[in-house]
Amino acid sequence: MPVGEHNSPAGPQVTALQMALVAATICNHGVMNQPYLVDKVSNASGEIGYQASTSVLANPITEETAKRTAAVLEGVIKRGTGTAAAINGVTIAGKTGTAEKGTDRDDSWFIGFANTEEGGGPVIAIVLEDSSDAPAKSNNVLKVALQKAGKLS
Protein backbone atom coordinates (compact mmCIF):
# COMPACT_ATOMS: atom_id res chain seq x y z
CA MET A 1 0.00 0.00 0.00
CA PRO A 2 1.14 3.61 -0.53
CA VAL A 3 2.80 5.47 2.33
CA GLY A 4 0.25 6.66 4.85
CA GLU A 5 -2.47 4.24 3.71
CA HIS A 6 -2.15 1.40 6.19
CA ASN A 7 -3.41 0.25 9.56
CA SER A 8 -0.47 1.48 11.65
CA PRO A 9 -1.61 4.50 13.69
CA ALA A 10 1.96 5.81 13.86
CA GLY A 11 2.62 5.41 10.14
CA PRO A 12 6.05 5.09 8.62
CA GLN A 13 8.67 6.96 10.59
CA VAL A 14 12.00 8.24 9.33
CA THR A 15 14.04 11.29 10.20
CA ALA A 16 15.44 13.88 7.80
CA LEU A 17 18.92 12.55 8.60
CA GLN A 18 17.88 9.01 7.63
CA MET A 19 16.47 10.27 4.34
CA ALA A 20 19.64 12.31 3.73
CA LEU A 21 21.62 9.09 4.24
CA VAL A 22 19.43 7.34 1.67
CA ALA A 23 20.10 10.08 -0.89
CA ALA A 24 23.82 10.23 -0.04
CA THR A 25 24.18 6.46 -0.40
CA ILE A 26 22.63 6.55 -3.86
CA CYS A 27 24.74 9.58 -4.77
CA ASN A 28 27.91 7.84 -3.55
CA HIS A 29 27.29 4.77 -5.73
CA GLY A 30 26.05 2.53 -2.90
CA VAL A 31 28.50 3.58 -0.19
CA MET A 32 26.94 4.91 3.03
CA ASN A 33 29.32 7.17 4.92
CA GLN A 34 29.14 7.78 8.65
CA PRO A 35 27.18 11.02 9.12
CA TYR A 36 28.60 13.87 11.15
CA LEU A 37 27.18 17.25 12.13
CA VAL A 38 30.34 19.36 12.30
CA ASP A 39 32.60 19.47 9.25
CA LYS A 40 35.27 21.70 10.74
CA VAL A 41 35.98 24.15 13.54
CA SER A 42 38.05 27.25 12.83
CA ASN A 43 39.30 30.01 15.07
CA ALA A 44 38.95 33.75 14.36
CA SER A 45 42.14 33.67 12.27
CA GLY A 46 40.76 30.92 10.08
CA GLU A 47 43.05 28.22 11.44
CA ILE A 48 41.34 24.84 11.52
CA GLY A 49 41.33 23.23 14.95
CA TYR A 50 39.20 20.26 13.94
CA GLN A 51 38.40 18.66 10.59
CA ALA A 52 36.00 15.73 10.29
CA SER A 53 37.08 12.79 8.19
CA THR A 54 34.93 10.58 6.03
CA SER A 55 34.51 6.96 7.05
CA VAL A 56 32.38 4.22 5.53
CA LEU A 57 29.45 3.06 7.65
CA ALA A 58 28.09 0.40 5.26
CA ASN A 59 27.61 -0.67 1.65
CA PRO A 60 23.85 -1.37 1.69
CA ILE A 61 23.34 -1.42 -2.10
CA THR A 62 25.49 -2.24 -5.10
CA GLU A 63 26.92 0.42 -7.39
CA GLU A 64 24.65 -0.84 -10.17
CA THR A 65 21.54 -0.53 -7.97
CA ALA A 66 22.59 2.98 -6.94
CA LYS A 67 23.05 4.04 -10.57
CA ARG A 68 19.69 2.59 -11.61
CA THR A 69 17.97 4.26 -8.65
CA ALA A 70 19.64 7.59 -9.45
CA ALA A 71 18.33 7.36 -13.02
CA VAL A 72 14.79 6.84 -11.70
CA LEU A 73 15.22 9.79 -9.32
CA GLU A 74 16.39 11.96 -12.23
CA GLY A 75 13.02 11.18 -13.83
CA VAL A 76 11.25 12.56 -10.75
CA ILE A 77 12.93 15.90 -11.45
CA LYS A 78 12.57 15.83 -15.26
CA ARG A 79 8.94 14.76 -15.51
CA GLY A 80 7.52 13.86 -12.09
CA THR A 81 6.58 15.45 -8.80
CA GLY A 82 9.97 17.15 -8.35
CA THR A 83 10.11 19.36 -11.45
CA ALA A 84 10.26 22.48 -9.26
CA ALA A 85 13.68 21.32 -7.98
CA ALA A 86 15.25 21.34 -11.47
CA ILE A 87 18.31 23.53 -12.03
CA ASN A 88 19.41 24.50 -15.53
CA GLY A 89 22.72 22.91 -16.50
CA VAL A 90 22.83 20.49 -13.55
CA THR A 91 21.52 16.92 -13.45
CA ILE A 92 19.42 16.70 -10.29
CA ALA A 93 18.01 13.49 -8.84
CA GLY A 94 15.41 13.60 -6.10
CA LYS A 95 12.38 12.21 -4.35
CA THR A 96 9.37 14.05 -3.01
CA GLY A 97 7.14 12.87 -0.20
CA THR A 98 4.19 13.72 1.97
CA ALA A 99 3.79 13.05 5.66
CA GLU A 100 0.09 12.74 6.39
CA LYS A 101 -0.70 13.98 9.89
CA GLY A 102 -4.44 13.45 10.00
CA THR A 103 -5.06 17.20 9.83
CA ASP A 104 -6.04 19.46 6.97
CA ARG A 105 -2.37 20.33 6.32
CA ASP A 106 0.24 17.68 5.50
CA ASP A 107 4.01 18.07 5.74
CA SER A 108 6.13 17.75 2.62
CA TRP A 109 9.70 16.56 2.24
CA PHE A 110 12.32 16.30 -0.45
CA ILE A 111 15.68 14.57 -0.77
CA GLY A 112 17.93 15.35 -3.68
CA PHE A 113 21.42 15.59 -5.03
CA ALA A 114 23.45 16.70 -8.01
CA ASN A 115 23.99 13.45 -9.92
CA THR A 116 27.42 13.16 -11.48
CA GLU A 117 29.58 10.22 -12.51
CA GLU A 118 31.97 11.17 -9.68
CA GLY A 119 29.18 11.19 -7.09
CA GLY A 120 29.59 13.30 -4.01
CA GLY A 121 26.57 15.57 -4.26
CA PRO A 122 25.86 17.87 -2.57
CA VAL A 123 22.92 16.09 -0.96
CA ILE A 124 20.00 17.81 0.74
CA ALA A 125 17.00 16.74 2.82
CA ILE A 126 14.18 19.19 3.51
CA VAL A 127 11.04 18.79 5.63
CA LEU A 128 8.43 21.55 5.60
CA GLU A 129 5.62 21.47 8.14
CA ASP A 130 2.13 22.35 6.95
CA SER A 131 3.37 22.93 3.40
CA SER A 132 3.47 21.30 0.00
CA ASP A 133 6.39 23.43 -1.22
CA ALA A 134 9.40 21.20 -0.42
CA PRO A 135 10.42 20.64 -4.08
CA ALA A 136 10.24 24.36 -4.89
CA LYS A 137 12.10 25.38 -1.73
CA SER A 138 14.73 22.70 -2.37
CA ASN A 139 15.65 24.41 -5.63
CA ASN A 140 17.07 27.37 -3.71
CA VAL A 141 18.78 25.14 -1.13
CA LEU A 142 20.36 23.01 -3.86
CA LYS A 143 21.60 26.11 -5.71
CA VAL A 144 23.31 27.45 -2.58
CA ALA A 145 24.80 24.04 -1.77
CA LEU A 146 26.11 23.70 -5.33
CA GLN A 147 27.59 27.20 -5.20
CA LYS A 148 29.30 26.47 -1.87
CA ALA A 149 30.69 23.22 -3.34
CA GLY A 150 32.02 25.15 -6.36
CA LYS A 151 29.79 23.24 -8.78
CA LEU A 152 27.59 26.16 -9.82
CA SER A 153 28.43 29.81 -10.39
Q: What is the pLDDT of residues 39-66, one digit of tens each?
A: 999 999 999 999 999 999 999 999 999 9
pTM of the predicted structure, to 2 decimals: 0.84
Distance CA 52, CA 28 (A): 18
Whether residue 152 contacts residue 146, with contact meaning beta carbons closer than 8 Å, is answered with yes
Predicted local distance difference test score (pLDDT) of residue 105: 86
- Does 136 have pLDDT greater than 70? yes
Q: What pLDDT, on the 0 to 100 scale, is given for residue 10?
A: 61
Q: Please answer whether residues 36 and 44 qualify as being in contact, where contact means their C-beta atoms are separated by less than 8 angstroms.
A: no
Strand 107-114 and strand 123-128: the pairing is antiparallel
Confidence (pLDDT) at 1 = 34
Does 8 have pLDDT greater than 60? no
Phi, psi for 136 (deg, rounded to 5): -65, -45
Convert the pLDDT of each residue in 72-129 to its tens digit.
999 999 999 999 999 998 999 999 988 877 788 888 999 999 987 777 689 999 988 8
* Cα 70 to Cα 90: distance, rounded to the nearest angstrom: 14
What is the set of domains in the chain, with CATH numbers?
A: 16-36+51-148 (3.40.710.10)
Q: What is the DSSP string of 85-100?
A: G-BTTB-EEEEEEEE-
Q: How large is the average pLDDT for residues 64-70?
A: 96
Q: How confident is the model at residue 2 (pLDDT cuts 50, 70, 90)?
A: very low
Long-range contacts of 137-143 (CB under 8 A, 24+ apart): 137/110, 138/82, 138/84, 138/85, 138/94, 138/110, 138/112, 139/84, 139/85, 139/86, 139/87, 142/85, 142/87, 142/92, 142/112, 142/114, 143/87
